[in-house]
Structure 1
Amino acid sequence: MAQLHFVEYGPRTSEQPQDTLVFIGSIGSTLDMWLPQLDALSDVFRVIAVDHRGHGGSPVVEGPASVADLAQDVQETIAQLGVDTYGVVGLSLGGAVAQYLAANDSKVTSAALLCTAPKFGTPESWHERARTVRADSTAALADGVVGRWFSEGWMADNPASTAFYREMIATTPAEGYASCSEALADWDFADELPKISVPVLVLAGADDPSTPPEVLKGIGEAVSGESTYVEIKPGAHVPTIESPQEVTDALRTHFS
């Protein structure tokens, strides 16, 4: 298991923190993808964001991983911070980890599943990605990935931010990206979703090519806990950056 790099903030006001929120991001990202939400929600929440193993400031762990391994990384990291109960917020791969935690960790009190799925693509497509980055580096995928993260209009209006996030992807260690790709190759949680009994926010980007709205609606229908569906427009696969206020507002409403 890996001790993950994390940041922690809040609360900034005199109010008691309502909860601890743990943020888990996409494959190829660092915790910087949550900056707007960490800024806003640290007023009353204790917010903790982590980098997956082999991403950002977290150590590379050689070889394939499973989503259960990634979840254990999160559990061990936040346990050292004295977290007793928490709300989990996950996007894409982080949403898979959040699904696993919501179903299996009794410390989870509520969950927000953003732009994620109980199964992503085909196993072969993820094994191919792993082979590609091990052979050619993660930069070989960066243009394609950033094109799924954001809508064309947003990228045209935000060239500097687009370049920043493309570089985030391109500089992800190849073994970190490959290991997490192999975790997604083996990920199929459809039959486990009814185990999620805590309140769930499912949030979709209206224009997300990777996990379209109908996939998120299906998660909400399959969990046994109360679910709320929110669709963000404009928004592709990473609306935390493209439509940050709308995402933050949905999270605040859910976890309050």
Structure 2
Amino acid sequence: MPMLKLASHSLHYQLEGPPAAPALLLSNSLGTTLDMWKPQLAALSQRYRVLRYDVRGHGASTASAECRLADLAGDALSLLDALDIERAHFCGISMGGLTGLWLGAYAPERLQCLVVSNSAAKIGESEAWRQRAAQVRAEGMAELASSAHLRWFSADFCAKAPDTVEQARAWLASASPDGYAACCEALADADLRADLPRIATPTLLIAGSYDPVTTAAEAERMAAAMPKARLALLPASHLSNLEAPLAFEQALLEFLDAS
């Protein structure tokens, strides 16, 4: 199992695809793992050198006691450095998308292009994130995992794809409570709204028309604020690459291939 050891934690990653192909770094959402990208992996790895990783405290990556958004972005940069990747296409969902926005604002020289899916420059309310962090530290992940599908998928999808819903719940249930809480606290403090106008990296914003967490309206506001951003709206809720996998794959590949 490939692991990158850092000062406070270790990152589990997977690298697939032709060695000489352009690099594509994929960053998972809060509460999931690098396996969330499996629906797109076969198509992506034919054309790109795909680097997936478990965000700290998720999957097989170990947790740190605390972190900020800059630390999450630093993990992505550390992976690129360790694998001698100077520049990469980047795609992230939710927290992963916010990580990508930080890179676009503060490390644009490392990006070929940027895809920000089901995300926002400020996700949710700070106090709600701090309350969730306190909850999982006190009670663990089980209760939160039991209701995750209500935030992540539409009701119709939950009825049609129970196996996918259960897999997503399992990802969340397996997360480190301390690691998950630290990421919640990073989201509580993260606010890149003032940085959007200076993100000049070509950017695709993907939004789900049914997403109650990071709404299509928020994506539209980001697109209006960013100089080189365009918007794709998919018939999905918050984890759009799982709920609308083919539409997500098509939108992603069309943008990457043109970048």
TM-score normalized by the length of structure 2? 0.93
Q: Distance in 2 between matches of 1:133 and 1:211?
A: 22
Q: Distance in 2 between matches of 1:203 and 1:161?
A: 20
2:240 counterpart residue number: 239
CA offset at residue 146 of structure 1? 2.1
Which of 88, 113, 118 matches 2:116? 113
Q: Distance in 2 between matches of 1:232 and 1:168?
A: 23
Query: How many percent of aligned residue pairs carry the same amino acid?
Result: 34
Spell out the pairing of 1:201-216 with structure 2 (5 A cutoff).
201-216=204-219
Structure 1 stretches of 4+ moved >6 Å: none
1:229 counterpart residue number: 231
CA offset at residue 3 of structure 1? 3.7
Residues 11 and 61 in structure 2, CA contact (< 8 A), matched pair in contact too: yes
1:149 counterpart residue number: 152
Size of the aligned set, in residue pairs, is: 249
Spell out the pairing of 1:6-25 with structure 2 (5 A cutoff).
6-11=13-18, 17=21, 19-25=22-28
Residues 149 and 158 in structure 2, CA contact (< 8 A), matched pair in contact too: no
For 1:194-233, what per-residue CA distance to the aligned partner results, in whole angstroms no more than 9, with x for missing partners?
Answer: 1210110000001000011011111111112x22210001
CA offset at residue 37 of structure 1? 1.7
Which of 122, 125, 142 matches 2:125? 122
CA-based RMSD of the aligned residues comes to 1.3
1:250 counterpart residue number: 251
Amino acid at match of 1:190: R
Amino acid at match of 1:104: Y
- Match of 1:78, SS state, is helix
Structure 1: give runs of 5+ residues left out of the alignment: none
For 1:35-82, what per-residue CA distance to the aligned partner results, in whole angstroms no more than 9, with x for missing partners?
Answer: 1122211111111111111111111111x2100001101111221111
- Match of 1:182, SS state, is helix
For 1:139-196, what per-residue CA distance to the aligned partner results, in whole angstroms no more than 9, with x for missing partners?
Answer: 1211332221111111111112211111111111101110000000001100011121
1:4 counterpart residue number: 11
Structure 2: give runs of 5+ residues left out of the alignment: 1-7
- Match of 1:21, SS state, is strand
Residues 5 and 57 in structure 1, CA contact (< 8 A), matched pair in contact too: yes
2:79 counterpart residue number: 77
- Match of 1:118, SS state, is coil
2:176 counterpart residue number: 173
- Match of 1:39, SS state, is helix
TM-score normalized by the length of structure 1? 0.94
